[in-house]
Amino acid sequence: MQSSFRLSRHVLPRVRDFRQMHNVNIRNTTIRALSASIAVRRDRAIKCTGDTTGKNANFRNALAHIMCATGAVAVGMHLAEYEGEWRPPDTPEDDTELHEVINWSGTHTVETRRYYQPETMEELRALVKNAHIRRRKLRPVGSALSPNGLALEKGGMVNLVLLDKILEIDKEKKQVKVQAGARVNQVVDALRPHGLTLQNFASITEQQIGGFTQVGAHGSGAKIPPVDEQVIGLKVITPAAGELELSIDDDDPSLFQLARTALGMIGIVAEVTLQCVPAHKLIEETYVTTRAEVQTQHKSLMAKNRHLRYMWIPHTKYVVVVTCNPYKGARSDVFLRYSKYNDSERLAAPRKLLRSHPDCNLTDVQIVELGFTSLRDELLALDPLNVEWVKKVNLAEAEFWKRSEGTRVDWSDRILQFDCGGQQWVSEVAFPAPSNDAKNSDVQFVQDLLELIEKEGIPAPAPIEQRWSAPSHSPMSPAGEKPPKELADIYSWVGIIMYLPDASLGNETRERITGAFKEYKSLCEERLWKNASAVEHWAKVELPDTEEGKTRLRTRTFHKYPTEAFKAICAIFDPHGILRNELMDTILGIETPSQAPMSEPTHVS
């Protein structure tokens, strides 16, 4: 249903702030009607609750605020649920079992006795209501793939892994509605018989759809936006307003645009409707070139290719170029074609280098069973912070890629995935890279980064990965801009990396790599980010160790995003902060209320 409520006096300044900071087009007629409607709204609240000061009235004021601030919003809830004396629903008590949740990279972990996996929407609604009324943490967590442990919260988490149904596929409209716990690869498999697929992918497809879209994940393609732009509808379970149904077709889609990349802070995304594209095959070409040639050919490569990825190899002159374009041959074609070399020849250089190290304990049989990324992990683990050794490893990687030049054809979801390697520290930034920039500032950014690495003697392994995307209209996306600044037509994404050896080998080496990576990233922040207007990918923002670092992070965030408006909206839907964690509070500069203490994920070296 659509809300006819208006704003109360005490929240009107927030709405004006929202208009200024996010350029929301609130109808002038609505604004003029605000004062006259306050009494009407208040009378309705009194009639329903018999109370002008209690929590029901406060709730209705808050709900009225957000409904008007973002236009007519479809709300999938009944206000009667919140009338009268509200009682917590029956929900599971704290589990006696201690649950440990570790992110994929093994860099962050939390332990909690409040870890829920609801099997029905009714259970999810009850969990959220109960957590809200008791002011207890309930941070949404998916596959825990975020390198920074973005979703981890020891006070309590909810995982929608059991809410993973494919609800509806509309072949004519090319749309799919899924529960948010469905994995990307699961959705793709369901779409395949209908001749559909998703427009773009990140490097992997194990993410749950909820997390995939909420963090603003991206693939590669200068004309293809981050994945949140594929979202055209949402069902969100909020602590204070119950169930919201939001759509790109709302009279004013401002709240929808905010909610689709809201980092789990407006509510728990329960269902997502995605705009799909016809299933298609891509032909991928991989070749090795030099830094100088990339600088010369970059404009042409950007113009000619639907998908483009550079993998710069530090301490060498080499760059691996990967292009992907629609395949115009037979739909049945699937092939992999290397021009000259078999697998043994392609892997010869890293295998030889591994055998040459005196501390290598692997047998020849074990070595030949390893693929390239596993070989690289083994090589770097032998002496990860020795610059001269890392240079040798990088040269061996360059040789591997030279012998891997060639083409392959397959379905787009299979082509656009790639192996990221083992556990790692990673930082990725996005920055505007307008197509009319004659200086190739996006390529120059990486050239400057490589010079920094060489000058400072940083043991930087490969690759430094560079991709591009079109802009996003989600105000909290890194590929967006804080109004009134205009969106760039292209954004570049650049990631640095250091790999971590297996934790079973002990933490001392992991701790040393962690310290080295922090220094590496700090130099990038200090020397490169500001001039490029770069901000980090939401899933890769790490909590700084120092107050000075936290201040810089908050300042950078404030200049990039409409943070004050975002915080105001979050406060309406989640007034007790049950969906937040310390990482997000620190980034956004939110003071922790005493009644709902924040908890910090444990750092694991």
User: Could you write out the three-class secondary structure of 161-213?
Assistant: CCCCCEEEEECCCCEEEEECCCEHHHHHHHHHHHCEECCCCCCCCCCEHHHHH
Can you tell me the mean pLDDT for 165-194?
98
Can you tell me the mean pLDDT for 543-566?
96
Burial class (CB in 10 A: 0-12, 13-18, 19+), 341: middle
What does residue 378 show for φ and ψ, rounded to 5 degrees?
-65, -40
- Report the residue count for the chain: 605
In a domain, 97, yes or no: no
What was the pLDDT predicted at 337? 86
What was the pLDDT predicted at 336? 82
pLDDT reading at 135 higher than 80 = yes
In a domain, 270, yes or no: no
The region of weakest confidence among 172-181, 205-214, 334-343 is 334-343
pLDDT reading at 398 higher than 90 = yes
In a domain, 366, yes or no: yes
Q: Which domain holds residue 39?
A: 9-82
Cβ contact 91:126 at 8 Å: yes
The region of weakest confidence among 26-35, 310-319, 331-340, 467-476 is 26-35
Cβ contact 321:289 at 8 Å: yes
pLDDT reading at 72 higher than 50 = no
Sign of CA dihedral 129, 132, 138, 142: positive
Can you tell me the mean pLDDT for 287-300?
98
What was the pLDDT predicted at 564? 96
Considering only CA atoms, which of 69, 79, 62, 119 is closest in space to residue 243? 79
CB-facing half-sphere around the CA of 461: CA atoms within 13 A = 28
Cβ contact 559:499 at 8 Å: no
Amino acid at 336: L
Cβ contact 314:384 at 8 Å: no
The region of weakest confidence among 23-27, 57-61, 291-295 is 23-27
β-strand 242-247 against 268-275: which pairing, if any? unpaired
CB-facing half-sphere around the CA of 588: CA atoms within 13 A = 26
Can you tell me the mean pLDDT for 335-353?
92
What does residue 322 show for φ and ψ, rounded to 5 degrees?
-125, 120
Q: Which residues contact 574 (CB under 8 A, 6 or more apart)?
A: 132, 238, 239, 240, 265, 266, 267, 580
Q: How confident is the model at residue 90 (pLDDT cuts 50, 70, 90)?
A: low
Higher model confidence: residue 553 or residue 58?
553
Q: Among residues 59, 82, 105, which one ends one of the domains?
A: 82
Q: How confident is the model at residue 95 (pLDDT cuts 50, 70, 90)?
A: low
What was the pLDDT predicted at 96? 61
What does residue 183 show for φ and ψ, rounded to 5 degrees?
-80, 155
Long-range contacts at 540-549 (CB < 8 A, ≥ 24 apart): 540/146, 540/147, 540/148, 540/426, 540/427, 540/428, 540/495, 541/148, 541/150, 541/583, 541/587, 542/148, 542/427, 543/148, 543/582, 543/583, 543/586, 543/600, 545/518
Percent of the chain with pLDDT over 90: 73
What was the pLDDT predicted at 596? 43
CA 139, CA 153: separation in Å to the nearest integer?
6
Amino acid at 274: L
In a domain, 50, yes or no: yes
What was the pLDDT predicted at 5? 26
pLDDT reading at 390 higher than 70 = yes
What was the pLDDT predicted at 227? 96
Burial class (CB in 10 A: 0-12, 13-18, 19+), 537: buried
Question: What is the tally of structural domains in the chain?
Answer: 2
pLDDT reading at 45 higher than 90 = no
What was the pLDDT predicted at 16? 38
∠ at Cα 399 (393, 402), nearest 5°? 145
What was the pLDDT predicted at 74? 32
In a domain, 52, yes or no: yes
Percent of the chain with pLDDT over 70: 82
Can you tell me the mean pLDDT for 106-122?
95
pLDDT reading at 65 higher than 50 = no
Q: How confident is the model at residue 92 (pLDDT cuts 50, 70, 90)?
A: low
Q: Among residues 24, 49, 82, which one ends one of the domains?
A: 82
In a domain, 353, yes or no: yes
What was the pLDDT predicted at 14? 39
In a domain, 601, yes or no: no
∠ at Cα 270 (266, 273), nearest 5°? 100
Amino acid at 254: S
Can you tell me the mean pLDDT for 348-372?
97
CA 588, CA 592: separation in Å to the nearest integer?
11
Rg (CA), the chain: 25
Q: How confident is the model at residue 34 (pLDDT cuts 50, 70, 90)?
A: very low
In a domain, 22, yes or no: yes
CA 366, CA 573: separation in Å to the nearest integer?
54
Q: Residue 477 corresponds to which tokens in the numbers above?
A: 């996306």
Cβ contact 188:413 at 8 Å: yes
Sign of CA dihedral 49, 52, 58, 60: positive
Q: Among residues 55, 82, 109, which one ends one of the domains?
A: 82
Sign of CA dihedral 554, 557, 558, 559: positive
| Mean per-residue pLDDT over the chain, rounded | 85
